[in-house]
């Protein structure tokens, strides 16, 4: 998954922390590596429950959430975070081919929704856009 792009340079600042929440171990391994290549710090969680139990650091500046996970789903975690007053931008990723899903998640306040498989360029653009808001 490693591309030839150069990572973003965060002059004089700590690298933004992007958390990944996905029940698929291959995604939890690949996405943090890719985020590191892009110049971000990253942390991965196997479930929404694990993410909530970890008490994520307040400097997490974006979340990448899988939509369909056992137990609490990505949209349910997103709703819970909003209920708790979180303003962390959320990028959803999904293998579901439901055309109504993306507009619904965006209407609920998601920063982006990417359909698997997505390109490195699309992921980078989604994270950059989320961090700018």
Query: What is the pLDDT at residue 118?
Result: 94
Give the chain's radius of gyration (CA, Å). 14
Q: Does domain 17-132 have CATH number 3.40.50.150?
A: no
Q: At residue 105, does pLDDT exceed 50?
A: yes
Q: At residue 27, does pLDDT exceed 70?
A: yes
C-beta separation of 74 from 48 below 8 A: yes
Integer Cα distance of 32 and 58 in angstroms? 18
Q: Beta partners for 99?
A: none
Instruction: Give the start-to-end residue ranges of the domains of the chain.
Output: 17-132
Return the closest-CA partner of residue 62 out of 32, 29, 87.
87
pTM, 2 dp: 0.88
- pLDDT, tens digit, for every residue of 74-87? 999 999 999 999 99
C-beta separation of 95 from 113 below 8 A: no
Integer Cα distance of 51 and 113 in angstroms? 19
Integer Cα distance of 47 and 68 in angstroms? 10
């Amino acid at each position: 998954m490693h591309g030839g792009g150069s990572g973003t340079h965060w002059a004089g600042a700590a690298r933004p922390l992007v958390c990944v929440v996905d029940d698929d171990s291959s995604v939890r391994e690949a996405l943090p590596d890719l985020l590191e290549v892009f110049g971000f710090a990253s942390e991965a969680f196997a479930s929404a429950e694990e993410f909530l139990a970890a008490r994520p650091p307040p400097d997490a500046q974006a979340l990448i959430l899988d939509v369909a996970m056992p137990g609490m789903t990505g949209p349910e975690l997103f709703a819970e975070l909003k209920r708790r007053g979180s303003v962390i931008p959320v990028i959803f990723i999904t293998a579901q081919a439901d055309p109504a899903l993306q507009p619904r998640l965006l209407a609920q306040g998601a920063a982006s929704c990417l359909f698997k498989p997505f390109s490195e360029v699309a992921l980078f653009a989604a994270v950059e856009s989320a961090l700018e808001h």
